[in-house]
Structure 1
Amino acid sequence: MLPKRQHGEVQPGLKWGPFTARIPLIHLRFSLADMLQGLAVAGATGLALVPYFMALLGLSFEEAVVMAMFHSLLISFSWMFFGDPYAPGWLTPAIPFVVAFITTPAYLGDHTAQFQAMTALSLNFAFILIFLGVTGLGAKLIKVVPNVFKGGIILGAAVAAFLRVTKDGDAANVFQSAPIAGTLGVVVCLVFAFSKPLQAMAANNKVLAMILGFGLLPGFIIAGSVGYFTGEFVYNIRWEILDVGAAATSLWDKASPFHIGWPSVDTFIAAFPLALITYILFFGDVVTGNEMIEQAQTQRDDEKLELNGSRAHMATGLRNVMMGIVAPFFTTQGVLWTGIQVILLKRWTQGREKVDSIFDSIGSFYAFGLPFLFIFLPLVTLLQPLLPVALAVTLILTAFACATLALSLVDDATERGAMVITAMAFSVFEPWLGLLVGLVTIAALCGFKVFMPKPEQ
């Protein structure tokens, strides 16, 4: 029997150390709408790096799918074992830096060296996260950052997401690769997620309310159907079951440091600066997730969403350790999938009769869909053409949600201007340079007083 949550308390679970484990159908309920979204959106997005795995690291299609499956499993079960109320995902903005790192002359063409570099990156990043989590320094850092700087980071994520969607030649530019079906899918998803007139109509129309309840799924169905008839999407279905055992064994032989050897000290040293840069992106995601949850919390007083910066650091660090020693591809284990977080929170704010706990939505979106998806090649190959739509939708939703959130954090006109400059710096420069420009801009325009901790009320 499901434990009943008392009004205003945290969803029940099994406490272990700083974490809380929640078991499906015991500590959370099943949500069909969220599971169907997970199959379509998370499934297509989870396959996005398969071409990278094959082209850069020399993996076969089956090995690449198993690697993507392992990454998705770690993400899918993060909420279950650790208890954070985030929809976890990749640290997507760092992927270009990682690809550039492993394609330098020191690693290019040597797949063993590339995998060792990925392990070094993952373990360095995990060390930073776990150290800051255990000491509590990460949580303190998140609390003392002023709103104007938080807003700059969040708005920077919005600008960067929008720029990536419109960049020529990028996999996310669906407007270039599938202009009719892609544009229609993105527009439908955006309107269904945020349109106030449509939501007002749904209040008096049960059929429309039911359709809107499926979130992004209708947009994907429309895009996939239109793309088939326009010829923009070609479906090459493979009617097979993936031989996970054979593919996992060969992947282990090619990628795991237990088989190919551990990275050298020089590799760990060379990888450390990129791990530090990636921490800035992680920090921005935690800030964004916390602000989203705190705003949504004002509309639901029956469930308390417990935010714990130290727990988020340690949980993400542990996932990076596991990924780095089994199927290393750095930045696939982040703390937040912004576009999905906003969709799940929006459904949660509609009330307890819609979804009892945020973990019902998160659990159904991830655990009830992803663990089984990659085994069935008919589903994998069915979703492959929808990859550009999935990337574009999540980036557009991220851009919109982050922009509205950032603009609500400050009221002062000077702080808003400094926030915009900081955002542009984060979106066009490397993360460390964006950080420096933002700090200097805010200090010069707003004064050092904004960095001083405010007294407790």
Structure 2
Amino acid sequence: MSKPELPGWRWGPFTFRMPFYHTRLYWQEAMQGLFVAAATGLALVPLMMEFFGLGFEEAVAVSMIHSAIIASAIIVFGEPYAPGWITPALPLVLAYVLGGYDDPASRWQAMTALSLNFAALLFILGISGLGKKFVLWLPDTLKAGIILGAAIAALKRVFIDDAERFLLQQPIAITLACAVCLIFAFSLPMAKLKAKYKVFAIIGALGLLPGFIIAAAVGPLVGEVSYDIQWGILIPPVGAAWAQMSPFAIGWPSLEMFLQGIPLAIITYVILFGDMVTGNEVIRDGLTARHDEHIDINPTRTHISVAIRNAVMGVTAPFFPTQGTMWTGVQVIIVQRWKLGIENMNSLHSGLASYYLMGLPIMFFLLPLLTGLQPLLGIALSLTLVLTGFACAYVAMAIPQNNTARGTVVLIGAALAFFEPWIGLTFGVLATLLLVGWDVNRDPIPHED
């Protein structure tokens, strides 16, 4: 007898699950989602204000649209992953858009071109089944170089490009936040403490939140953070934001923008595929403990659903790459509680929907929460980029098998971080061929000894 899947309304390859009807609300996941998702989801607000010409409320409206599209992955399309940004690609995208275009309108158009390029690539690779074959065909050295390029670009943006705007304005708060999160996420001594003491394990499971809370507490004490909390309800000005960013309002990208964005779409797809592989392995591990529920893992459905989300985002609130497959930390946290049994969580889909607040954008209307977070958003952005840089660096450097490959990976990473995507990608292909050879790994899933 086959295991049942949580019911829903089928439409094509997708399943719509009505919140509170098909999926239950679990307060544990909802409370984490309210604060962690608020801190990270609003992290792009400073960038949209500084470089894309939006006011605070308009930038919040854009983040609300992104959040709604992200939540649709679970509710509308029935995906079994905790969706999030394709974070490793973000620093490469920012370097390309901010370095290549000078005014907000052209930057929004560049974001639209990137989003629609990526949507088309995903759709084609999804319905044709060529996605897996494409990633299998890429050599390990080039993959590692792409990931390391994201790491270098992320750290460069924090410590060089935007240092005067964020790091030098809040040095103690940002340093403390990054230190706490790096220690709890990656420290080997801390891993031993988490295995021995439950309190450390609980703190570590909260992801970015502990470092963020410490920065929020220490910031005012050292004069780096000043709160001006306002009470009331905010109605995000979606119309005003639309008028400044949607291609229907400001015009469509030129053909040149679409062509120049193709290499970055390919690079982002390589990173996205890695997220899909990781997400599938996390779910398969959970299924060893949950024999009562069937979770449908369908790469074709995932390709098409992410393509649709990117296309919708590209014409409404274009900010690439905020529509990815999986937020790894959240996926792991939810699956860990799902594994404990049906009495803790009836379905993985319920846990996912609860974390994303059943798709209801409550936090974007709460003015006290938004104004309380406003002086901390530069910290949230810096923290996100530093953790991305660290994680990408150790993943990238674990892939090459010899010193020549390691040196080549560093060259490719630097080229991608400092030059335009097509130059970096071309350099990466040539460097791989000439220095290492086309070192294809037929098994894209890493296995630890």
Name the TM tier (shorter chain).
0.7 to 0.9
Residue 447 of structure 2: aligned partner: none
Aligned match of 1:73 in 63, 68, 72? 68
Aligned match of 2:416 in 422, 426, 448? 426
Residue 95 of structure 1: aligned partner: 94
Residue 230 of structure 2: aligned partner: 238
Residue 381 of structure 2: aligned partner: 391
The aligned runs of 1:272-283 (5 Å cut-off) are: 272-283=258-269
The aligned runs of 1:251-262 (5 Å cut-off) are: 251-252=241-242, 255-256=245-246, 260=249
Preserved CA contact (<8 Å) 1:293 1:305: no
1:372 aligns with 2:367: no
Give distance in 1, aligned partners of 2:64 and 2:427.
38
Preserved CA contact (<8 Å) 1:348 1:358: yes
Aligned match of 1:316 in 286, 306, 314? 306
Question: In the TM superposition, what is the alpha-carbon distance from 1:276 to its structure 2 partner?
Answer: 0.8
Question: In the TM superposition, what is the alpha-carbon distance from 1:373 to its structure 2 partner?
Answer: 1.0
Preserved CA contact (<8 Å) 1:41 1:390: no
Preserved CA contact (<8 Å) 1:152 1:419: yes
Aligned match of 1:345 in 332, 343, 359? 332
Unaligned runs of 5+ in 1: none
Give distance in 1, aligned partners of 2:227 and 2:296.
43
- Aligned partner of 2:261: which letter? A
1:64 aligns with 2:59: yes
> Residue by residue, what CA displacement relative to the aligned partner does 1:11-56 show, whole Å, maximum 9, x if unpaired?
8766543445555567766565554444344323433444554566
Q: Secondary structure at the residue paired with 1:374?
A: helix
Instruction: State TM-score, norm by structure 1.
Output: 0.78
Comparing 235-244 with 410-419, greater Cα deviation is found at 410-419
Instruction: State TM-score, norm by structure 2.
Output: 0.80
Residue 167 of structure 1: aligned partner: 160
How many residue pairs are counted as aligned between the two chains?
Answer: 431
The verdict on how the C-alpha distance between 1:359 and 1:404 changes in structure 2, with shifts beyond 3 A counting, is farther
Question: In the TM superposition, what is the alpha-carbon distance from 1:431 to its structure 2 partner?
Answer: 1.9
Give distance in 1, aligned partners of 2:70 and 2:333.
21
The verdict on how the C-alpha distance between 1:184 and 1:425 changes in structure 2, with shifts beyond 3 A counting, is same
Preserved CA contact (<8 Å) 1:19 1:311: yes
1:150 aligns with 2:143: yes
Aligned match of 2:316 in 326, 344, 365? 326
Preserved CA contact (<8 Å) 1:40 1:220: no
Give distance in 2, aligned partners of 1:201 and 1:324.
44
The verdict on how the C-alpha distance between 1:452 and 1:63 changes in structure 2, with shifts beyond 3 A counting, is closer
Comparing 426-435 with 217-226, greater Cα deviation is found at 426-435
The verdict on how the C-alpha distance between 1:101 and 1:153 changes in structure 2, with shifts beyond 3 A counting, is closer
The verdict on how the C-alpha distance between 1:418 and 1:29 changes in structure 2, with shifts beyond 3 A counting, is farther
Question: In the TM superposition, what is the alpha-carbon distance from 1:360 to its structure 2 partner?
Answer: 6.0
Task: Name the Cα RMSD after superposition.
Answer: 3.7
Question: In the TM superposition, what is the alpha-carbon distance from 1:435 to its structure 2 partner?
Answer: 1.4
Residue 180 of structure 2: aligned partner: 188
Preserved CA contact (<8 Å) 1:34 1:364: yes
The verdict on how the C-alpha distance between 1:434 and 1:84 changes in structure 2, with shifts beyond 3 A counting, is farther
Give distance in 2, aligned partners of 1:155 and 1:291.
19
Preserved CA contact (<8 Å) 2:142 2:412: yes
Residue 225 of structure 1: aligned partner: 217
Give distance in 1, aligned partners of 2:113 and 2:200.
50
Preserved CA contact (<8 Å) 2:98 2:107: no
Aligned match of 1:42 in 21, 37, 40? 37
Preserved CA contact (<8 Å) 1:155 1:420: yes
Give distance in 2, aligned partners of 1:133 and 1:225.
46
